[in-house]
Amino acid sequence: MAHGIRVLEDSCRGCVNCIKSCPTEAMRVIHGRAHIIEELCIACGECLRNCRHRALQLAEDPWEGIFNNKDTVALMVDPSLCTQFLWPPNTDFLIGPLRDIGLEPISGVNSEAFDLAALAVSRAIESADSKDMPLISTYCPAVVRLVQIRFPELLKHLVPVESPLEFGIDLWRIRTQQKESVVLAASCPARIAMVHDPVGREVSSAEWAVSVARLAKEIRSRGYAKAEIKAPAEGERWVQWGMLGGETLHVASFMNRDLNAIAVSGIRNVFDLLQEVELGLHAEVEFVEARICDTGCIGGIGNAESRFLSQRKIRSQKVRWDKTASEIEVLEKLYRARIWELQRTIEPINRLPLGEEISQAMEKLKEMNAVYAELPHIDCGACGRPSCRAMAEDIIRGRGEVEDCIFKLRKRISGLAEELLLLSRRLVHTVVEDKH
């Protein structure tokens, strides 16, 4: 398992579709089988989307394992779970079906947790230094990992507010004094990775992660039909976070002025925008809401519903953005308790050095450049690496051989064939000489 993705080696046909789709060059196909280099994987799920042979899977926890002889387990609900069934999304509707499948939703804390996250982001924007602008949302864990791996210069732009899906569980534990384990409904591999290998805290507040699609399947298998639905008079603000732009609207609702923000989704767009932020092209922007999945978390590979239908459902919600005086009072108290804060600084993820000592690493780098110079530089992918440079690096790291390159192999074979031909000619002379 690499973060949120599991490789089913027996199903892998070695077609190399996955390596071409990986934005961080974390995927390899070696000896006809896919492998993920964990330190480079951001758990975006692009490889999974592009595998036609179902050889890649979400690394969710096994359904039976999460119950572990218990009848009921607590569940943290992701906004996208609310969009899997109804028009408009109805969080109350989910309670009955979830209880029926043995899960007790703790969605009661979601309103407060997401309100608190939006309030904390708005305060962070108001107090940020202009050189750290724009602040970048940390809600999408895949974006955070992308920044750690590819854009370490932008780490100081990450808003120091944790995902409400994490600190919401802490809040529920404080409120209810419950110590029991919690399952997170995960819309994507990055959320699964957040549980097993969190960023911004030592240990995740959730113990397990199961996909939204799995939950939707269990609920549907109990016969819950769309006919039972009653639309609520008012949608909940936190459900809006499932769709691109929802976080920005929520943050702006806490500021008594317009928020200068950019919201982008989809790996290519996020990549391009981060590059532009790095170049200083958006210094006047205050906030960036970036989501790896197209249309936001409702586009996560862990969902069952069409992202376009989910988008329409969220848009059909009538949301009250203003807060009552008592809501504000509770939020201010929680804000002062700083429960929303990242518990750990987010550090860059450096590629493993080529050698332990600097001199050794420099020597290896020289060797790598020499190997690269000999490769054809066409990045064909036939060797199972995303590029010739990645191939050269794998050779130096002992993860491959020059003959994995089909062009080098062909050259070697024709060299051997020529040598064999020469040898066989000698053999004819020997046989002829022997006859006399």
Residues that bind ligand SF4 (CB under 6 A): 5, 21-22, 24, 26-27, 36, 41-47, 140-142, 187-191, 291-293, 296-297, 300
CB of 148 vs ligand SF4, minimal distance in Å: 12
CB of 297 vs ligand SF4, minimal distance in Å: 3
Which residue has its beta carbon closest to ligand SF4? Answer: 300
Write down the residue that tokens 């050698």 correspond to.
Answer: 355
User: Which C-beta is closer to ligand SF4: that of 133 or that of 243?
Assistant: 243
CB of 404 vs ligand SF4, minimal distance in Å: 19
CB of 139 vs ligand SF4, minimal distance in Å: 7
CB of 144 vs ligand SF4, minimal distance in Å: 9
User: Which C-beta is closer to ligand SF4: that of 235 or that of 296?
Assistant: 296
User: Which C-beta is closer to ligand SF4: that of 110 or that of 334?
Assistant: 110
CB of 326 vs ligand SF4, minimal distance in Å: 31
User: Which C-beta is closer to ligand SF4: that of 242 or that of 400?
Assistant: 242
User: Which C-beta is closer to ligand SF4: that of 57 or that of 181?
Assistant: 57
CB of 309 vs ligand SF4, minimal distance in Å: 16
User: Which C-beta is closer to ligand SF4: that of 73 or that of 298?
Assistant: 298
User: Which C-beta is closer to ligand SF4: that of 55 or that of 94?
Assistant: 55
Distance CA 253, CA 242 (A): 17
